[in-house]
Amino acid sequence: MDAYTTPEYFHCITDSLFQKSVYEPEADTFLFLESLDREKSYLSRVISCKKDCCIVEVGCGSGVVITHLFALLQSIDLLNTPGSGDSIQNENQSSAIVLHHSGGDSTSQIPLNRRRFYAIDVNPLALQATAFTWDRTLKKYFWRDVEKFMVQDNSSQGSSGVEALTLDPNVVNLYTYPGKSEGVGERISSIETAAAGIYMDAKAPIKSSCASPVLWPYTLSLLEGDLLHALKDLQGPFRVRSCDVVLFNPPYVPTSTEELEQALTRKDLITSAWCGGERGRVVLDRFIEMLPHYLSRDGCCYIVLIKENDIADVYRKIQVEFHLYHHLTTCMDGNGSTLEDQPTESYHGEADLMHIVCCTDRYTGEHLSIHRISYKGSS
């Protein structure tokens, strides 16, 4: 099996379906991947102590970032598994993650716990591109791990062998498209089924994942919706502040309000993917206002910024919004109205709740940087 280095994303460049509809990986994408590699030790602390773990990418585009994070977490799992029979390239040699599988006992335990991956986008074609990136990457580099998990899961159900399982990667989907109000344990149709009437030849045979086992540690759920609010209709793992790792590369390029409105009116998917409005903050600010409702107390969020976003003010807004949420959920004034109605200025000067740090920055024609947001005192 080949060694993993980078997700399989060339369909985003070569497939006419995606060329003018999905933001292909650029310098900001690869800086994000590099930043996650550098955050490996931190992410290991966040993930390793959790029995349940929810990982979400908002505005997934090509799906490269969340797929790379999956690979990174696989390398963390292998490092934490004594005698796994796998070797991992020394981190000092390269920032790339390189996994080598030497076979070994196919029933050895894989420390995946109950990990869930979710990708969100308003663009259904971006979800489809993400599905292909995830599915092709895992089947090319991690299929042996998927097989191991299927054997373990089958054994836990009381079966003595794998004869009842379909181990052919061509008939197993590693992505799903949950419907509203469906629990994570319920049957869900594949993205091909959901998109068949709009983006694919309706006469072509559609393979559904319903007949296959749901391999949750290796399955990506794709949600079409408005930023983190796309999670609201899901049952199961979702409750207040349930996201442990959140990834977001927003439309950060400063533009006029008119240019942003025109892109949305024309349904110009590519322009909408980078067009950020005033200071490049229109979508980013909305995301920051949602984040306190979804980020777990010991979780973290990574965002991409450029200098023109006014980074100091972004930090200030993050602190303000988390203070607002904290007060809203713990306090009521004497008239019964929530503190959400109180002026933002009343929270200035209070001790910061959040720890925000720049993980990586680079000039690539624009001053790009990746920032981590977490509660103070967490991992």
One DSSP character per residue, 169-226 reads GGG--SEE-PPTT--TTS----HHHHHHHHHS-TTS----GGGS---GGG-EEEEESS
- Quick one: which of 140, 103, 173, 127 has its CA closest to 6? 140
Q: Between 14 and 77, name the one with better pLDDT.
A: 14
154 pLDDT band (50/70/90 cuts)? low
Torsion, CA 128, CA 21, CA 264, CA 220, rounded to 10: 20
Residue 160 CA, distance from chain mean position: 35
Per-residue pLDDT reduced to its tens digit, 281-320: 999 999 999 999 999 999 999 999 999 999 999 999 999 9
Torsion, CA 339, CA 342, CA 348, CA 354, rounded to 10: 30
Residue 119 CA, distance from chain mean position: 5
Domain spans, the chain: 11-102+110-375
> What integer pLDDT is reported at residue 78 of this predicted model?
72
The answer to whether the beta carbons of residues 369 and 36 sit under 8 Å apart is no
Check: pTM over 0.85? Answer yes or no: no
What percentage of the chain reaches a pLDDT higher than 90?
Answer: 46
Give the range among 68-82, 129-143, 203-217, 356-370 with minimum mean pLDDT. 203-217
CA distance 55 to 216: 12
CA distance 303 to 59: 11
List of long-range contacts for 181-187, beta carbons under 8 Å, 24+ apart: 181/233, 181/234, 181/235, 182/234, 182/235, 183/234, 183/235, 183/236, 184/116, 184/216, 184/221, 184/234, 184/235, 184/236, 184/237, 185/214, 185/236
CA distance 33 to 29: 6
> What integer pLDDT is reported at residue 332 of this predicted model?
44
- Quick one: which of 80, 30, 55 has its CA closest to 300? 55
Per-residue pLDDT reduced to its tens digit, 230-261: 998 775 545 567 899 999 999 988 888 888 77
Provide the greatest CA pair distance for the chain.
67
Most confident residue range from 153-157, 204-208, 370-374: 370-374
CA gyration radius, the chain: 21
User: How confident is the model over 145-152, as a mean pLDDT?
Assistant: 79
The answer to whether the beta carbons of residues 190 and 128 sit under 8 Å apart is no
> What integer pLDDT is reported at residue 333 of this predicted model?
45
> What integer pLDDT is reported at residue 166 of this predicted model?
54
> What integer pLDDT is reported at residue 331 of this predicted model?
66
CATH of range 11-102+110-375; options 3.40.50.300, 3.40.50.150, 3.40.50.2300, 3.40.50.20: 3.40.50.150
CA distance 300 to 290: 14
> What integer pLDDT is reported at residue 241 of this predicted model?
72
- 274, pLDDT greater than 90: no
> What integer pLDDT is reported at residue 11 of this predicted model?
96
> What integer pLDDT is reported at residue 363 of this predicted model?
95
> What integer pLDDT is reported at residue 39 of this predicted model?
97
- 31, pLDDT greater than 50: yes
- Find residue 373's DSSP bridge partners: 301, 356
262-271 burial: b if 16+ Cβ within 10 Å, else e: ebeeeeebeb
The answer to whether the beta carbons of residues 53 and 47 sit under 8 Å apart is yes
CA distance 167 to 146: 9
- Find residue 304's DSSP bridge partners: 370
User: How confident is the model over 18-24, as a mean pLDDT?
Assistant: 91
CA distance 112 to 73: 9
- Quick one: which of 347, 364, 219 has its CA closest to 304? 364
- How far from each other are the two terminal CA atoms of the chain, in whole angstroms? 34
The answer to whether the beta carbons of residues 166 and 212 sit under 8 Å apart is yes
- 81, pLDDT greater than 90: no
CA distance 64 to 130: 7
The answer to whether the beta carbons of residues 27 and 364 sit under 8 Å apart is yes
The answer to whether the beta carbons of residues 25 and 67 sit under 8 Å apart is no
Per-residue pLDDT reduced to its tens digit, 181-236: 444 333 333 333 333 333 333 333 333 333 445 577 899 999 999 899 999 877 55
Per-residue pLDDT reduced to its tens digit, 99-121: 333 334 433 344 455 789 999 99
Torsion, CA 42, CA 44, CA 45, CA 50, rounded to 10: 140
User: How confident is the model over 67-95, as a mean pLDDT?
Assistant: 64
Residue 354 CA, distance from chain mean position: 21
> What integer pLDDT is reported at residue 80 of this predicted model?
67
Per-residue pLDDT reduced to its tens digit, 312-371: 999 999 999 999 998 887 764 444 444 444 444 455 556 899 999 999 999 999 999 999
